[in-house]
Structure formats: C-alpha cells, structure tokens
Structure 1
Amino acid sequence: MRVVMVRHGETDWNLHRKYLGHTDVPLNQKGYFETAEICENLLSDLAPLNGNILIASSDLQRCLYLAKRVQERLHVKTDIIVNKSFREIDFGDWEGLTFDEIQDKYPKQAALFLKQPNQLLFNGENLEQFSDRIVNGIQNIYNDVKDIHNINTLLIITHGGVIRVLKSLIHKGTPSDYWQYSANHGEVFCFEYPYVS
C-alpha cells in the first residue's frame, strides 16, 4: 500500500516557534491559504487513482480541516478515519512555550533534552512512545484494509513530528534521529507500507 503523509498548514504557534503538540490550535490565515495550495497539489498527484484512496487524519483541527478539504476536492467517498495515533508528540509541560522559554523555566530538562532527546522529562511522551504510537496507528489501518483490493493509497493528514519520525525509521534510523529531518507545512512524504525497518 502506498502511504502519503501530508503536514497541515501553519498556525500562530508555529509562526512564533512555540512547541505545539496535543494542544488544539487552529490554522492561521497563512495556514488556510496553504490548505488550498495543498489540495491543488494533491489533486494533480492523486486524482488518477480514481477514488482508491483512504484518508486518515489526526483528530486535531489543524489537520481535520485539511482532511475535509482534500476529501471534497478529490471526491473521496469513504469516511475520514480520525485517529489520535497521528497526533504530534505530546510536549507536556512544554506546550505553548518557545525553546528559550523552556530553557528559562526548565533549565535542567532543556539541557538533558539537548543531550538525550529520547529521555524527555516534562510530563509528555518520549520519542520511543511517540514512534510506537505512529507505527501502531498505520499498522492497524493497514490490517483493516489490506484485503480491500480497490484501496491502494492511504493518505494521512498529520503533523511535522510524525513525518520526521517516519522518515527516520524508513531511512533505517531510530526515533531520536528524527531531529535530522524536516517536514515543512504542506510537505508530502510518500512510502510503501509495509516497509522493512
């Protein structure tokens, strides 16, 4: 199965470089504009598949808005699979703060985070938990649809961290390698699933 992951458009928290995980922040004006662009790009890339697409999305509004627009634009008849597995990492106490604010408020945690990014100590998820959640979400959907022959593409509307984790795993890295990768707003990342990890 082909998996196409797309990152949502910009929010004000993204603009101000605040850690944005499970907090349900809406798109800003630029994010709505980016949504229209993303839909047009996906239309040209995915329209030839003739409705053999299944759409899944994080349950947060910045992703759901895009998922609904893509569903309309591509004329996908199946319901969107809304799945918390595709949420951004839970930043816990760091949600809504910039890294400078984190360093001021939680200096020991910030220093540890820079040295050992998988040992997060701020009442959120660590990278292993985050990675496991994402992979389990994809595997569960795959198990549900692998025998449905007319579904050949899973389109997942998600967050930057989710895409970065998948890039690191597919390139034979570990979840903590995800800092080496980027995922811009509206970025599309494709891979075949199952993949060899």
Structure 2
Amino acid sequence: MAVAGGLVVTIVRHGLTAWNVEQRYQGQRDIPLLLPDAVPALDRLRDYLRAYQSERPFDAVYSSDLGRCRQTLAHVLEGREGDTALHVEPRLREMDFGAYEGKCYDDLKDLPQYRAWIDSQGEQAPPEGESAAALRARLDAWFAELLASAEAHAWQRVLVVTHGGVIRELRRRFEAIDFWDGSVSQAEGRCFGFDKSQGEWQCSWSSAVPAPASAG
C-alpha cells in the first residue's frame, strides 16, 4: 500500500475493556483490557497486521502510555515485539473527561453542563477536563514530530495504538467528517496515506482497519 516517497500511518484503537462494556467514560483512567472477552477482536487485528507486515514491516510503532493500549500492542505484535523500536507517547492518550470519567450517559444526561459539552462536540471542556482544542494541540505537536522523524529516517509505514477520541479527531482532520461520525470499534481503526506535495504533507487516502471481510 505504501508508495515511494509516501507514508502510511495505521492508527488503531485499544481492545475491549469492562468500562467499554458498561459504556463508561474512560478518558485517562488506566483501565485494563477485559480478558478473555477482548481476545477475538484482538486476534482479528493481529492477523490483519501480520498480513500487512508481510509486505513490509513497520518502520516505527507508537502507543499511548495507558495500559490498555500497551496490552493491545503486545497482543497484536506477539512474537515481533523486538522488531521495531516502540515510542511510548503520553500525547496519544484519550481526551481527559475530567469529572465525567467513570460515569455513564444515564448518570449525566440531565446535567445542563453535560448537554452543553455534547452539543459543542467537546469544544467546551468538561468540568476538570480537557477541551477539543487542547486535544488538537497535543495531537498536532505529536504528528508534526512524527512527520519530521519519517522524513529524517525514510519511514514508510508506522503503527499507532491509541484511543477512540484520538481517532475521531484525526478522522475529522484528515477525512473532513463530523467529529461524532468518526467513531471506530475496539481493536479497529484507520489507515491513512500521506504524500508530500509542494513542500507539505497531505492525506491522500484512508481506509478501514481491519479491512471489511467483503473487501477481500
């Protein structure tokens, strides 16, 4: 899928947790994977990534520092953990939901401040939490460094393990879709292709990860 001079960034969400099942806001709480329930989806992602790497291994791997992402990475790279240096990156953490972390929609739905947060698509920060602008700022800084490293080291393929809100924001930016339309399930994500034209990196395509069964 990579082309000469281009960069393919595969960005996936961590596997299933108990708080995902309970539909609780996790944010930056360090919630572990729900095992063995998370395993089938992780196996499917691992098989996809193994087939993908058979063409060309990843040049670099990035992960949020939260445990559920580190566990996911260990599973999908099982047996190949030492092939590529791992960059553990706190800037890839989920949005900080502040006072809403650990709570469900039913706990919050009648609060005017919560409704305002939802209606603003996160632009208005939750109590004690992080705004969408703050999330964008840390992701922009991380991504600029990624592109600089890709150029310096001639990387063509990069794997990133992160969180649902991070992927929503990246899809909003690179696919020009509404923030709320950018959700992906656990152990799924997106592949983004970048090319440098007139001195600037541009996203030229994106696709689902793992690829839908009908695509094969």
Tell me the TM-score range normalised by the shorter chain.
Answer: 0.7 to 0.9
Q: Choose which of 140, 144, 150 in structure 2 pairs with 1:139.
A: 144
In 2, are the aligned partners of 1:39 and 1:73 still within 8 Å (CA)?
A: no
Letter in 1 for 2:145: N
Tell me if 1:41 matches 2:48.
Answer: yes
Tell me if 1:19 matches 2:15.
Answer: no
Over aligned residues, Cα RMSD in angstroms? Answer: 2.0
Where does residue 167 of structure 2 map in the other structure?
163
CA separation of 1:113/1:12 partners in 2, compared to 1, >3 Å: closer, same or farther?
Answer: same
Q: Choose which of 114, 118, 122 in structure 2 pairs with 1:114.
A: 118
Where does residue 154 of structure 1 map in the other structure?
158
Compute the TM-score of the two structures, normalised by the length of structure 2.
0.80
Please list every run of 5 or more consecutive structure 2 residues that lacks an aligned counterpart in the other structure. Answer: 1-6, 195-200, 205-216
Report the Cα offset of residue 74 of structure 1. 4.5
**Residues 138-147 or 58-67, more deviating:** 138-147
Tell me if 1:10 matches 2:16.
Answer: yes
CA separation of 1:52/1:33 partners in 2, compared to 1, >3 Å: closer, same or farther?
Answer: closer
Distance in 1 between residues matched to 2:169 and 2:82, nearest whole Å: 27
Distance in 2 between residues matched to 1:26 and 1:115, nearest whole Å: 30
Find the residue that maps to 1:146 and give its secondary structure.
helix
In 1, are the aligned partners of 2:15 and 2:187 still within 8 Å (CA)?
A: yes
Report the Cα offset of residue 113 of structure 1. 1.5
> Alignment length, in residue pairs?
190
Where does residue 84 of structure 1 map in the other structure?
90
Distance in 1 between residues matched to 2:151 and 2:91, nearest whole Å: 19
Please list every run of 5 or more consecutive structure 1 residues that lacks an aligned counterpart in the other structure. Answer: none
Find the residue that maps to 1:195 and give its secondary structure.
strand
Q: More helix per residue: 1 or 2?
A: 1
Task: Give the share of equivalent positions with the same residue, in percent.
Answer: 28
**Residues 28-37 or 58-67, more deviating:** 28-37
Letter in 2 for 1:42: L
Letter in 1 for 2:188: E
Misfit runs of 4+, over 6 Å? none
Deviations 1:35-92, CA, capped at 9 Å, x for gaps:
222111111122210x343110000111111222333444652221000111111001
Report the Cα offset of residue 140 of structure 1. 1.1
Letter in 2 for 1:158: T
Report the Cα offset of residue 119 of structure 1. 0.9
Distance in 2 between residues matched to 1:54 and 1:21, nearest whole Å: 25
